[in-house]
Structure 1
Amino acid sequence: MSDTTPRPSTDLESSPLLAHRNGDEEEAPQNKSFLAALTDPTREMTAGEKLLGAVALIFLVLAATFIGLFSGLKHRISSGETGSTTTITDYITQTSTQTATQTEVFTSTVPQPAPTESPTQGPCLTSECVMLASSMLGYLDTSLDPCEDFVGFATNGWVKANPLPKSKAIWGSFNQVRANNQKVILEILKKPITVKSVEELKKETPEEIAERDNLVKMKTVFDDCLNEDHLDEIGTAPLLDIVDAIRASFPAVYPKSVDAKTQTQSKAAWYSFEELERNARVAVDRILNGETAESSIVKEEEDVEETDFKEKEPSRKTKLTNALAYLHAKGISALFEFNVEGDVGVDPQFQVLSLYQSSTGLPAKPYYDEVSIVEVYEEVVATLLSELLPKSLLSDASLLVESSPDSSLWPPFPSWPSPGPKTPEGDEFPAPESSRSNLVKKLAHQVVVFETALARAGADPEDIFDPTKAYNPTPFEDVELGIDLARYVSAFAPRNFPSKIIVTSPSFVKKVNKLVANTDDHVLQSYFLVRAAFKHANLLGPKVEVRLAGEKLTSVLRGTKLGAEVDREEVCAGHLDSVVGHLVGAEFIKTQFPGDSKVKGERIIFGIIDAFKERLKTIGWMDDASRKKAIAKAEAITPKIGYPLYPNHKSPIALRNYYARSPVNSGDFFEDVVRATESDLAKSWQAALGNKRNVDIWEMNAHTVNAYFSPPDNEIVFPSGILQPPFFNAEWPGYLSYGSFGAVAAHELAHAFDSTGSKYDDKGFFRDWWSNSTVKAFEERANCIAEQYSKFYVVGPDGKQVHVNGNLTNGENIGDFGLRFAWKAWKASLEGQKEEKILPGLPYTAEQMFFLSFGRIWASTASPAQAVAGVRTDPHSPNQFRIEGTLRNFPQFAETFNCPKGSRMNPKERCELW
């Protein structure tokens, strides 16, 4: 940070982010360390207090001494001083569960690298430092050589002490921070609201009334979610309301009969759902009695011309329009979906519609090629349809015909075998005991065939993240989706009707139109119902069959134990975030985001920006003109830290008004969540579309454990939720703060110049702003990183290797390379200051502790199935490769740990970028 140029507040506001709970504007007193409280008391201590203080101090010194002796002994043993050898395992093949196949095992007599320099300061003996030292020791496995297996060296102690919970697919430092943040919220939710007398209520201020209303709203949602007995009692009823609406908006028409010779349908060859429900059960009874199926059919439409019949039915385009508008309003992704975001080609702050492909039931294309996964998926889809469709609906074998999606999009699965015995007329018909089951299976198969084709039609994830492929502005009237698009958009009541749409994948639009045109109505309707079930099944009771079916699929995809007990409070806290997330965040920051955290966090962020600007001045592959623009972009980046300013988290009234459109009713948990989804969507379409972006709105809640960079807005955002241990603490030594939170901040900054961010200028415009030679040099280095990470792999539950997609993860990997700016910023922060104190019992330099701090934030364990799912769907590399890949390419790491040339962590060839 420059000494001469003051920076604006990170949230572009003049007042502090946090007000004190009592409304005082005075600066809050700083919390003193334990040792400081002894040496500088605020009052005269009694003799007893002095004695206790002396005893406590002696205890801390002894504890630190024993920690040091133990760690030193363990360090000498592991470093080879006893003459033993160390077996090193090649962790490049490991999964996050440390269970991967060992492809390279060898012995080493290389001693553990000694500190590169002796610490100049004595150990920090405050209670915070002692506990922190103990925590750091708990992460380490000093039996390993950090130059060969730094991942294991820095995290194996934690992994061994934190086995994967049965109900979890992944567990790591991020999860622990989320759990700790939830505990803060749970304490608030469990605390009863103070009962006041009538006189006291009359004296309440508007702010106090709003505060109580907000707490009641939070507690109502949370308590309703916890009431699983009630959720089980009402069963699928809330979801069936949505099912009925879908069936009403998209009434499926089934073939009555098909002429075996001509394969043509008679003029009265179609049943509506109402007809089916009226006739199906009668048809079964008559066939069982040896009568023909035709004799059971009501003939009202027999003498009606086919054209007259069709005129009474809504057109397919109208039905699709109605169904998709309804589904999307409920937050249910089907066929495609829209998002409101900046127009990066014309005005990044002007919000327009962007068209994306929909999500699918299986999380990635490769899953649709795995027979075992597809078999489970079809079983789950069959269960859902059996639970959601009327019992009388699927009772006649003649009602289903084979669906044949365009084979050029995806090879359809083989036809199912004949469903059962034949009628006296020779028509195939299942036995009554299994007719519905077999027909539901066939319908489920058709749905999966359709969805498989839909998945294949979609663009690959790396193309969606690439603006050169995904930014395709198209006039509104030229976007063809097989629906009445104007009517669809009008359903969301935007105040400004769009004149164009950003189409992220034009080829997908063409393919999906062709696919839908060649798919039967009953298959489409069933697909819609399945999408609704997958979206909302987790809102149902734990014993409801629809929810159990969804959990079965999840357990297979993520490798969790089916039926494992889950922490319901944790689940409900997650749902609370989606309904009233800003209320939760407002409560969180009252106690978990003190003013000194904001100041220290800002100092780290600004220091990293300055370090990056200095580095830009010396990069050889960037020409002067491009360098000047890059520095201007770095200077223009807006850091935001703490919490969003809209809605105003300091105003209970503003928060209450924000959620006024999504009322909460006791006992209506399912409906409350759906209403919140509808409200959020309405705010986006009605307030944002066609307007300038509200810069005070964030994409995350205040208590979220995450951070992000927004290319159109050129801003990096850090919610207070991530400014918690082990990422950050205002009292920590700098080498820990910069190695952990500094790494997060540097990662987000580097995103501004990664394979995607580098395509946006300092104002957020998507355009070419680097010279051709600089772009070429950048791409060469980015490709080196992509190729390097593509050699990493995890091992799945079947023992097969699944390689990281270096192209998909390229932007995030480049972001992790920002660690070197955190390093430079930390070093710059020490200029003119005394050396920072070291933690007791840890025989490592401050430089080594910087890297250990970085390693521990990525400590995690995961099931093999989840490791595979992450590689296929996540733009981030698996955590172990985020550590190894970053540090192998960072020369200062090898220098700090004295790693010999050619060792795993000091390779002969590196990828160089920043």
Structure 2
Amino acid sequence: MKRTSTTRQATAAAFALALAGCATSQTATTPAATSSTTATPPPTAASVPGRSIVLADIDRSVSPCEDFYRFSGGNWLKNNPVPAYATRWGPRNLLGDRTQATLRRILEEAAANTSAPKGSNLQKVGDFYASGMDSVGLEKAGLKYLQPELNWIAAVKDLKTLQAEIARQQTLGTGAFFRAGVGPDRKQSTVYAVNMSQGGLGMPDRDYYLKDDARSKAVRTAYVTYMTNTFKLMGDSEATAAKKAAAVLRLETRLAQASKDRVALRDPNASYNKMTLAEANKQFPNLGLPTLLAQNGLGAAKEVIVGQPEFFAEVSNLLKQEPLSDIKTYLAWQLVSSVPSALPKSYSDEAFRFSQVTSGAKQQSVRWKRMQAATDGTLGEAFGQLYVDKAFSPEAKAKALQMVANIKESMAEHIQTNTWMSDATKQEALKKLNALRVKIGYPDKWKDYSALNISRESYLKNVLAARQWNYQQNVKKFGGPIDRTEWSMTPPTINAYYNPPMNEIVFPAGYLQPPFFDPEADDAVNYGAIGGVMGHEMTHGFDDQGRQYDSEGNLRDWWTKEDGEQFTQRAGVVGKQYSAFSPLDSVYVNGKLTMGENLADFAGLTIVYGALQKQLQKQYGSGPRPVIDGFTPEQRFFLSWAQLRRSNIRPEALRQQILTDPHSPDQYRTIGPLMNMPQFYQAFGCQQGQKMVRPDAERAVIW
């Protein structure tokens, strides 16, 4: 479950990956639910107190068979409104606050240590954070440290110097026009390739530029206001600032019209267009690709993989057709809007006012939280080592690895017993599963930051230096062996991911904490919580996108024609179900955009349920299984799954999620899979006709 930020300050590592997606329980004496159809514990099983299922959060006025989302966490939803500084609120946020407190202590200790050896990780972490917290210094500096980059843009006088500046902005990570970086060749995963992908938009999605509904118009208006006010802060008059904002909007609208939508971008084959550098230069002559790549350390590249040729053709035309002054204004905007937190407070205030319209946030996050996130994103492995020492034990890692092994075994059994897949496809699937790499907690090989210079002089200088260093770290991989030790998330990250070209699943230490993972909790709770995440990431390798990659991470069709058609048909049932979910009036989930995540939820939960049953069989054989807090292991499994997905979200943020996020809203991630699982019906005694039970003819079955 990789949930990405809306920021445009993406690192080259994140780009490479994109190319490839707690409270104490109370003892209860009442039955699991008030419904007469609810299963009751076997009379021979002893009831004992448990951990991690929060009984007070359960709304027993709701039947689990009518709305399991409300049953499992209705009281929590009522009692936990979204704080002013957040746009959504759930267990992940609570764990995030706890993790941030730990990281803050580490960072403040590092910042206070002014005698750390120069060049050491401790010095760099301390100076980066301290420079970011120096609000007085930021106000005093104004645009002083950004001015050299603005001067580079101002000096552009023709197409040749424009091409050189676009190349420079690639190294600065501003997001201007497109993204170019190094990642595994998706059809030859043993070598690195230069990948190019569409970009260049300042609003969260292309549709905000193209649609004329009231919501899109309001976002566009707010964006123009944001740009106008920022240009005024940079010294322009009201009239000049408004003219510049209009120019940027016009250019970005052109880019939006040429951009593929998010559903189209999910097709990995359509985004794989390998061509020689000479061919690319002929198709997109005004980009100056040979010069751009040579300038940025990729002069040895003879081929490029172009994600969206039509988009790059339009960029090439735009660079020739649009007034040079407007293009320079666009580049300046892309630069300044990529670093608002490194400029005086008035700049970040303007950026926040625009984000309020798109996300509904009421209050800007406090400075130290923003700087903690920035330090994690820039030097995450440097101080992540300290975090691991404090928050992640070897015992926790061993337990997590054992769970993954059990889930992998369950997945193998589901493949082998699959009734609609041929033996030939099964063998390829098992081969891919057996080749799956598992990374838990933290890297075996830490990043080397020795070439990155960080000081307390200027936070903005540090940010730009870190971006350039990160870009160089990415491009220098070209021509070398594939680095399979690399991580695309830092140890404190509360998330996980599957990487198709590497055929790997990765679980940072930040995720492996209560309430998602507790080595002391009973198996049913852990399998329903972090186990559900493990199964989700594992089965991403077999969702509608992941299934197109083979055991070695190559984009290759290893399915028989009949099996591929069967899968597509079954996945279509899932898409239809989710497209019918409507969290807001006239707003529906996009079943095509969320297909991969929905399939991973479906398959993952089924696989993990099987793994739990194997674990229970090892522990208890055919004997009685413990009832804890009044719930059977199966009931605790589903409750654990649901309680970790409860969340409140602002309507604005929910609308933006529906438009841009490949994950369905949490309420549907919770109930969507369960509505198709006979195991859930049996656990809670649900009957046909109840809302959580789909008729057999409408039920989705993947694995």
TM over 0.5: yes
> Pick from 265, 269, 273: which aligns with 1:472?
273
Instruction: Quote how far apart the aligned CAs of 1:884 are.
Output: 1.3
The question of whether the paired residues in 2 share the 8 Å contact of 1:847 and 1:896 is answered with: yes
Report whether the alignment pairs 1:380 with 2:226: yes
**Letter aligned with residue 598 of structure 2:** N
Does residue 882 in structure 1 map to residue 683 in structure 2? no
In the TM superposition, residue 185 of structure 1 has moved relative to its aligned partner by: 1.7
Q: Does the CA contact (< 8 Å) of 1:579 and 1:672 recur in 2?
A: no
Alignment correspondent of 2:417:
618
Question: Is 2:48 the counterpart of 1:120?
Answer: no
The 1:836–1:236 alpha-carbon spacing in structure 2 relative to 1, beyond 3 Å, is farther
In the other structure, the counterpart of 2:99 is 181
2:177 to 335, 345, 349: 335
2:331 is matched with 528
How much does 1:754 deviate? 0.5
The structure having more radius of gyration, on CA atoms, is 1
Write the distance in 1 (CA, Å) between the matches of 2:56 and 2:310. Answer: 52
In the aligned structure 1, how far is the partner of 2:43 from the partner of 2:402?
Answer: 27
| 1:566 match: secondary structure | coil
* Cα distance in 2, alignment partners of residues 117 and 861 from structure 1: 35
2:14 equivalent in structure 1: none
Q: Deviations over 1:103-135 (max 9, x none)?
A: xxxxxxx546242634723414xxxx4xx36x6
Q: Does the alignment pair 1:152 with 2:70?
A: yes
**SS state of the match for residue 709, structure 1?**
strand
- Shift in CA distance, 520/209, structure 1 to aligned 2, threshold 3 Å: closer
Q: What secondary structure is seen at the aligned counterpart in 2 of 1:535?
A: coil
SS class of match (1:469): coil
Which of residues 504, 511, 516 is equivalent to 2:307? 504
Helix, strand or coil at the partner of 1:68: coil
- For 2:437, which of 632, 638, 645 is the aligned residue? 638
1:438 Cα deviation after fit: 2.6
What are the Cα deviations for residues 321-354 of structure 1, in whole angstroms up to 9, with x where unaligned?
1120121111111111112111121x20211111
**Paired residues of 1:116 and 1:898 also in contact (CA < 8 A):** no
User: CA RMSD, aligned part only?
Assistant: 2.3
Deviation, structure 1 residue 626: 0.8
Cα offsets for 1:340-394 (capped at 9, x unmatched): 111121x202111111001411111222222222112111111222333x55xxx
Partner residue of 1:601? 400
| Equivalent in 294, 303, 309 of residue 490 of structure 1 | 294
Distance 1:849 1:490 in 2: 58
Counterpart of 1:361 in structure 2 is 202
TM-score by length of 1: 0.70
Alignment partner of 1:582 is 2:381: yes
- Alpha-carbon distance in structure 2 between the residues aligned to 1:694 and 1:235: 40
Amino acid of the residue matched to residue 61 of structure 2?
S
Over residues 728-752 of structure 1, what are the superposed CA-to-partner deviations in whole Å (9 max), with x where a residue is unaligned?
0111100011001110000011111
- Structure 1 position 565, deviation (Å): 5.2
**Number of the residue aligned with 1:804:** 589
1:822 CA displacement: 0.6
Matched residues in 2 for 1:702 and 1:192: separation?
A: 18
The one-letter code matched in structure 1 to 2:64 is P
Task: Give matches, 1:496-575, under 5 Å.
Answer: 497-542=300-345, 544=346, 546-561=347-362, 564=363, 566-575=365-374
- Conserved 8 A contact 1:349-1:693: yes
Matched residues in 2 for 1:162 and 1:764: separation? Answer: 43
Cα contact 1:385–1:526 (8 A) shared by 2: no
Is 2:517 aligned against 1:728? yes
3-state SS of paired residue (1:876): coil
For 2:111 and 2:143, the matched residues in 1 are separated by 32
Task: Name the aligned partner's letter for residue 144 of structure 1.
Answer: V
3-state SS of 1:478 partner: helix
Following superposition, the deviation at residue 193 of structure 1 comes to 8.7
How many Å separate the matches in 1 of 2:162 and 2:42? 70
CA distance in 2, matches of 1:112, 1:689: 61
Query: Quick one: which amino acid aligns to residue 68 of structure 1?
Result: A
User: How far 1:183 sits from its partner (Å)?
Assistant: 1.7
Output the CA distance in 2 between the equivalents of 1:442 and 1:333. Answer: 22
- The residue type equivalent to 1:175 in the other structure is N
* TM-fit CA distance, 1:617: 1.4
CA distance in 1, matches of 2:246, 2:539: 45
- What is the CA-CA distance between 1:855 and the residue it aligns to? 0.6
Q: Verify: 1:591 aligned to 2:390, yes or no.
A: yes
Deviates more, 1:734-743 or 1:359-368: 359-368
- The Cα of 1:190 is off from its aligned counterpart by 3.2
SS at match of 1:342: strand
Moved over 4 A (4+): 192-196, 835-838
Match of 1:353, SS state, is: strand
Letter in 2 for 1:238: Y
Is residue 111–residue 125 contact of structure 2 (8 Å, CA) maintained in 1?
A: no
Q: Deviations over 1:42-101 (max 9, x none)?
A: xxxxxxxxxxxxxxxxxxxxx99x8435xx2xx69x72xxxxxxxxxxxxxxxxxxxxxx
Offset, 1:706: 1.0
CA 1:193 to 1:774, structure 2 compared with 1: closer, same or farther past 3 Å? closer
In the alignment, structure 1 residue 440 sits paired with structure 2 residue 238:
no
State the AA in 2 paired with 1:148: E
Residues 1:351 and 2:192 are matched in the alignment? yes
Deviates more, 1:564-573 or 1:447-456: 564-573
Counterpart residue type for residue 670 of structure 1: L
Q: 1: CA distance between counterparts of 2:94 and 2:389?
A: 20
Matched, 1:685 2:475: yes
**Counterparts of 1:387 and 1:879, CA distance in 2:** 39
Alpha-carbon distance, 1:512 to partner: 2.5
One-letter identity of the residue aligned with 2:675? R
Sort the Cα spacing of 1:241 and 1:144 in 2 relative to 1 into closer, same or farther, 3 A.
farther
SS at match of 1:352: strand
Q: In 2, Cα distance between the equivalents of 1:438 and 1:181?
A: 46
1:214 aligns with 2:15: no
8 Å CA contact retained: 1:711, 1:757: yes
183-192 vs 879-888, which deviates more?
183-192
Helix, strand or coil at the partner of 2:192: strand
Report the AA paired with residue 201 of structure 2.
Answer: T
* Residue of structure 1 in register with 2:598 after alignment: 813
Say if 1:348 and 1:713, in contact at 8 Å, map to a contact too.
Answer: yes
- Range with greater deviation from structure 2 (546-555 or 604-613): 546-555
Contact 1:119 1:845 in 2 (8 A): no
Distance 1:324 1:195, change over 3 A: closer
Distance 1:682 1:225 in 2: 23
Kept after mapping to 2: 8 A contact 1:119/1:838: no
Q: Give the Cα–Cα distance (whole angstroms) in 1 for the partners of residues 117 and 536 of structure 2.
A: 42
Post-superposition offset of 1:854 = 0.4
Indicate how the Cα distance of structure 1 residues 539 and 121 shifts in structure 2: closer, same or farther if over 3 A, else same. farther
The residue type paired with residue 776 of structure 1 is E
Distance 1:675 1:554 in 2: 26
In the TM superposition, 1:23-34 aligns within 5 A as: none
Cα distance in 2 for partners of 1:664, 1:195 equals 15
Which of 743, 761, 764 is the matching residue for 2:553? 764
Give the distance between the partners of 1:437 and 1:115, measured in 2 at CA: 70
CA distance in 2, matches of 1:637, 1:719: 17
Q: Separation in 1 of the partners of 2:204 and 2:312?
A: 20
1:708 matched to 2:497? The reply is: yes
1:195 positional shift = 8.4
Q: If the length of structure 2 is used for normalisation, what is the TM-score?
A: 0.90
2:536–2:600 contact (8 Å) kept in structure 1: yes
> Which amino acid letter does the alignment assign opposite residue 517 of structure 1?
K
- Aligned counterpart, 1:293: none
The Cα shift of 1:179 comes to 1.9
1:162 shift after superposition: 2.2
CA distance in 2, matches of 1:195, 1:793: 52
Residues 730/748 of structure 1: CA separation in 2 closer, same or farther (3 Å cut): same
Whether the 8 Å CA contact 1:786–1:806 is kept in 2: the answer is yes
Offset, 1:673:
1.5
After TM superposition, give the deviation of residue 843 of structure 1 in Å.
Answer: 2.0
Against the structure 1 CA distance between its residues 473 and 162, is the aligned structure 2 distance closer, same or farther, given a 3 Å change threshold? same
Give the CA deviation at 1:161: 2.9
Q: Which residue of 2 aligns with 1:744?
A: 533
The letter for the 2-side match of 1:115 is T
Percent identical: 28
Aligned position for 2:18 = none
